[in-house]
Amino acid sequence: MTLSTEEVKTVTLQQQQRRLFIKGTLAGGAVLAASGLILPRLAMAAWPAEAFHATTLDDALTKVFGSSTLEASDKVVLKAPGIAENGAVVPISINAEQLENVESISIFSEKNPTPFVARFSLKPGCVPDISTRVKMGESGDVIAVVQAGGKLYSARTNVKVTVGGCGG
């Protein structure tokens, strides 16, 4: 297939316009970042850094929620394997669709060196259903904590790890 001179000029012009757009977008982003209008620390403002350094479950819960008091609930459905062949990738899923006004879903692994694993903050109207893989250092309980309507609901299940994940 051969292109006419006019078609070649059109293709070349489109490529130049695309390159100009990309350069302008990158330059504009750099200017915004340099001027302080885009601050990465704002996106991480709610990052619970202290909770990730807690070494006990109660301490981690207190640092995330301000309390370690949990209400066990069958409205929080936690699925995890009874036996995990590899502690580095333990699949879990948490569903809290039976609760209203779910604000967040957090995951803790009681026997990990740092029990706080993850927190998912949910916007109003989001379906409170997550699936992920967590790292477990040894066999122990995985705890799902759902914050809804100002209360903390939880579910826990025991997972036996046959090959270590956190330093094992």
Query: Which H or E run includes 145?
Result: strand 140-148
Could you state, in order of their start, the residue ranges of all structural domains in the chain? 5-42, 47-161
**What pLDDT does 134 receive?**
94
- pLDDT tens string 97-126: 999 999 999 999 999 999 999 999 999 889
Confidence of residue 19 (pLDDT cuts 50, 70, 90): confident
Q: How far is residue 107's CA from residue 63's CA, in Å, rounded to a whole number?
A: 14
Q: How far is residue 150's CA from residue 159's CA, in Å, rounded to a whole number?
A: 29
- pLDDT tens string 45-87: 466 778 888 999 999 999 999 998 999 999 999 999 999 988 8
**What pLDDT does 51 receive?**
85
**What pLDDT does 106 receive?**
96
Full-model pTM: 0.71
Is 102:94 a contact under the CB 8 Å cutoff?
Answer: no
Sequence-ordered list of residues with C-beta below 8 angstroms from that of 105, at least 6 positions apart, any chain: 94, 96, 119, 120, 122, 128, 130, 144, 145, 146, 147
Indicate the CATH number for domain 47-161: 2.60.40.2470
Q: How far is CA 93 from CA 68, 81, 98, 130, in A?
A: 22, 10, 15, 6
